[in-house]
């Protein structure tokens, strides 16, 4: 009996723990599914495969440095083997060696059945200009991989931002329409009461029903569009496509986070990872020229060799003959059929092409900043005017609604004022979106 009560008590504790654990998991999942723009960017940088690949390329470049550096470190090799002659080589002696002896055998062999040798060789580059330039090129390539990693990160940040904004715009349009539907439903209820009291026509109620239905259709279309926009955002972030995702930022939040001071900020080309990458490419091509020219220089290699050798016809009667040698070898290139000259000229042409590309990129970045500033000013002025328009449309709508309730205004006037207000509200949302895009494009063009 006591044992059964104890088991029942333990089961209850287990169920309670499981309940609270599931609550914690659900809460964690809910937190992970809600993202501000900054959080979405941070998530993408941690989960996008393009960022991971760029990071691996840095490690690959580091290993390339180790690989090239290893060529200049002394190399030690050892070999061991036994050459057993199945048929010995024959040497034919001159007849004069027999001194007239009729039994003299001219065919003799100096080889032994077993020739066992173990060799240890140490060698090292003492001077090789190609090696030095190769090591320098490997280090510059690592710098290139690091700058490329920053470029990839910047691209992911820009892509996530560009995917986040449309979803945010649709989300805010949804909220505005929902608010308008709620206001219309309230007005429709009041109009229906006026109709029952004989102070309004059935047509007035029908017009309001039609307006509500039209807004419902717009809301349904926006919901589908928002779903598509969120799918694009998930893909850009590297977020699971089957999981829910929510946006926590508002347009005003992001607008206020970007200072208007960027409008007068000077262009700094070095702030762009892509520009720094092409500078590293230029440096890499300069090193490549020297690497190709290094084929004109001699190289010097030193070596030490020690060999242990045993010879004999039988394994139990071998004799030991060790040898050792040390030396150096100089390799002096004299003529390579003009191949080296062609490689050097090719490397120089590649450098010139990179320099031209660098100039084009500098002009393109400056052009982007100029255009982004113009778009920024235009969007800011448009938003100011649209905000004035929506204030005016709100006053007209409120005045028309009061006149309608007092019986001195028509439902047609109310409907027109209502449509004007909705259009003005949508214009403000789009104006904020345009200004936000212009701010972000200017920020990106400045390399922030």
List, for residues 115-142, the tens digit of each pLDDT value.
Answer: 888 999 998 888 888 888 888 889 999 9
**pLDDT value of residue 406:** 78
List, for residues 298-355, the tens digit of each pLDDT value.
Answer: 888 888 989 888 887 787 778 888 889 898 888 888 887 788 889 899 999 999 999 9
**pLDDT value of residue 202:** 86
Sign of CA dihedral 17, 23, 25, 27: negative
Residues sharing a CB contact under 8 Å with residue 390, sequence separation 6 or more, in sequence order: 421, 424, 425, 427, 428
Tell me phi and psi for residue 161, to 5 degrees.
-60, -45
**pLDDT value of residue 32:** 59
In contact, 292 and 106? CB cutoff 8 Å:
no
Whole-number Å distance between alpha carbons of 113 and 119: 20
Query: What is the enclosing helix (H) or strand (E) of 376?
Result: helix 339-405
Residues sharing a CB contact under 8 Å with residue 134, sequence separation 6 or more, in sequence order: 68, 71, 291
Tokens of 96: 């004069």
Whole-number Å distance between alpha carbons of 302 and 359: 46
* CATH for the stretch 54-72+128-160+234-297+339-448: 1.20.1600.10
- For 94-128, b/e burial (b = at least 16 CB within 10 A) is eeeeeeeeeeeeeeeeeebebbbbeeeeebbbeeb
In contact, 400 and 409? CB cutoff 8 Å:
yes
pTM, full prediction: 0.75
**pLDDT value of residue 103:** 76
Whole-number Å distance between alpha carbons of 163 and 234: 9
Query: What is the enclosing helix (H) or strand (E) of 31?
Result: helix 2-32
Indicate the SS3 state at residue 308: strand
Indicate the SS3 state at residue 240: coil
Tokens of 440: 């972000």
Q: Give which of 172, 165, 183, 162 is closest to 222, Cα–Cα.
A: 172
Indicate the domain borders of the chain.
54-72+128-160+234-297+339-448, 76-127+298-332
**pLDDT value of residue 112:** 79
> Can you say how many angstroms the Cα of residue 253 is from the centroid of all Cα atoms in its chain?
26
Query: Other C-beta atoms within 10 Å of 393: how many?
Result: 21
Q: What is the pLDDT along the chain (448 residues), one digit of tens a residue?
A: 444 444 444 544 444 444 444 444 444 444 458 899 999 999 999 999 999 999 999 999 999 999 888 888 888 999 999 888 777 778 777 777 777 677 777 777 777 788 888 999 998 888 888 888 888 889 999 999 999 999 899 999 999 998 998 888 888 888 888 988 998 898 889 888 888 888 778 888 888 899 899 989 999 998 999 999 999 999 999 999 999 999 888 888 888 888 777 777 888 888 888 898 899 999 999 998 988 888 888 888 888 989 888 887 787 778 888 889 898 888 888 887 788 889 899 999 999 999 999 999 999 999 989 998 899 889 989 999 999 999 999 999 889 888 877 777 787 888 888 888 888 988 998 898 899 888 888 888 888 7
């Amino acid at each position: 009996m006591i044992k059964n009560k104890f088991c029942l008590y333990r089961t209850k504790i287990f169920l309670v723990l499981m309940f609270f654990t599931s609550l914690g998991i659900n809460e964690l999942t809910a937190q992970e599914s809600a993202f501000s723009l900054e959080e979405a960017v941070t998530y993408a940088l941690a989960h996008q495969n393009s960022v991971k690949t760029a990071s691996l390329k840095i490690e690959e470049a580091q290993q390339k440095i180790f690989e090239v550096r290893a060529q200049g470190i002394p190399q030690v090799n050892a070999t061991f083997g036994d050459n057993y002659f199945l048929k010995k080589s024959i040497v034919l002696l001159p007849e004069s060696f027999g001194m007239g002896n009729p039994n003299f055998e001219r065919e003799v062999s100096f080889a032994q059945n077993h020739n066992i040798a173990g060799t240890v060789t140490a060698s090292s580059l003492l001077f090789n200009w190609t090696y030095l330039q190769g090591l320098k090129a490997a280090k510059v390539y690592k710098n290139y991989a690091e700058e490329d990693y920053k470029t990839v990160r910047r691209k992911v940040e820009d892509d996530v931002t560009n995917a986040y904004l449309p979803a945010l715009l649709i989300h805010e349009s949804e909220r505005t329409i929902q608010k308008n539907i709620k206001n219309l439903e309230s007005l429709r209820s009041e109009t229906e009461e006026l109709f029952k009291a004989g102070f309004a026509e059935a047509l007035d109620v029908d017009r309001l029903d039609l307006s509500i239905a039209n807004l419902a259709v717009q809301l349904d279309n926006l919901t589908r569009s928002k779903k598509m926009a969120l799918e694009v955002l998930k893909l850009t972030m590297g977020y699971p496509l089957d999981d829910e995702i929510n946006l926590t930022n508002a347009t005003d939040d992001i607008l206020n986070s970007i200072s208007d001071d960027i409008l007068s900020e000077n262009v700094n080309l070095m702030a762009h990872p892509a520009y720094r990458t092409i500078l590293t490419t230029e440096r890499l091509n300069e090193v490549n020229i020297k690497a190709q020219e290094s084929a004109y220089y001699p190289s010097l290699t030193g070596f030490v060799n020690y060999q242990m050798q045993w010879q004999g016809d039988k394994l139990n009667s071998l004799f030991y003959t060790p040898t050792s040698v040390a030396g150096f070898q100089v390799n002096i290139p004299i003529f390579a059929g003009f191949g080296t000259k062609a490689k050097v000229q090719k490397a120089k042409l590649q450098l010139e092409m990179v320099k031209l590309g660098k100039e084009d990129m500098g002009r393109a970045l400056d052009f982007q900043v100029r255009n982004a500033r113009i778009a920024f000013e235009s969007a800011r002025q448009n938003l100011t005017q649209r905000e004035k328009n929506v204030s005016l449309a709100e006053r007209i709508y409120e005045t028309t609604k009061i006149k309608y309730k007092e019986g001195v205004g028509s439902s047609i006037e109310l409907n027109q004022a209502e449509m004007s207000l909705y259009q003005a509200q949508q214009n403000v949302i789009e104006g904020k979106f345009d200004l936000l895009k212009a701010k972000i494009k200017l920020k990106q063009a400045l390399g922030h």
